[in-house]
């Protein structure tokens, strides 16, 4: 059997990962009550407001590259990432494999590197990227307009660069930074 670079989750897989995610992070979908998850330690949540005045979306593209590169770098060979989009199609991605899936061109939405069906930027939906064992990842909140990055290895890999792009931290380890 050949390993797939990208796999659409079945309904059973979808339910299983959402149950695991909810159990660990206490996900709460809301347009008004933030942060939307119990943010783990360690974590940093940035405001995405710095992207509001972004002619040509250069900062957004740079942010997406930084986060996706960090996620790929922190994934062990053979390890998958969960890519979750609340109430929509979700995926498992092997960042160590080249994109080969025939359905990929039809599922790409928004800004994303080749082979990744979603961007970490929460463009109207909750976008969540998770290590297979949930030890690191990102949680994009569309209504708070924020991006939470968690897990030591991912934070070590991208914090300095993300700070330069987004500039304003909302929370550290789930506690207000202001």
Average pLDDT per consecutive 10 residues, the chain (178 residues; last block may be shorter) = 80 97 93 92 97 90 95 95 94 86 46 76 94 98 96 98 97 91
Q: What is the pLDDT of residue 33?
A: 84
How confident is the model at residue 30, as a pLDDT?
A: 83
The 3-class secondary structure across the chain, one letter per residue, is: CCCCCEEECCHHHHHHHHHHHHHHHCCCCCCCCCCCCCCCCCEEEEECHHHCCCHHHHHHHHHHHHHHHHHHHHCCCCCCEEEEECCCCCEEECCCCCCCCCCHHHHCCCCCCCCCCCCCCCCCCCEEEEECCCCCEEEEECCCCEEEEECHHHHHHHHHHHHHHHCCEEEECCEECC
Whole-model pTM? 0.90
């Amino acid at each position: 059997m050949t390993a797939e670079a990208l796999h659409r989750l079945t309904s059973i897989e979808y339910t299983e990962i959402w149950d695991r995610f909810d159990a660990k992070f206490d996900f709460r979908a809301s347009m008004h009550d933030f942060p939307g998850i119990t943010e783990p330690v360690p974590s940093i949540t940035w405001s995405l407001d710095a992207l509001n005045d972004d002619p040509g979306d250069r900062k957004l593209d740079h942010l997406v590259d930084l986060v996706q590169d960090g996620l790929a770098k922190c994934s062990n060979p053979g390890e998958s990432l969960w890519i979750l989009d609340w109430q929509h199609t979700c995926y498992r991605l092997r960042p160590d494999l080249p994109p080969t899936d025939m359905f990929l061109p039809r599922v790409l939405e928004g800004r994303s590197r080749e082979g990744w069906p979603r961007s970490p930027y929460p463009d109207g939906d909750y976008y969540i990227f998770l290590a297979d064992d949930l030890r690191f990842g990102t949680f994009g909140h569309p209504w708070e307009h924020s991006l939470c990055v968690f897990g030591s290895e991912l934070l070590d890999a991208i914090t300095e660069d993300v700070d330069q792009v987004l500039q304003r931290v909302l929370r550290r380890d789930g506690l207000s930074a202001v």
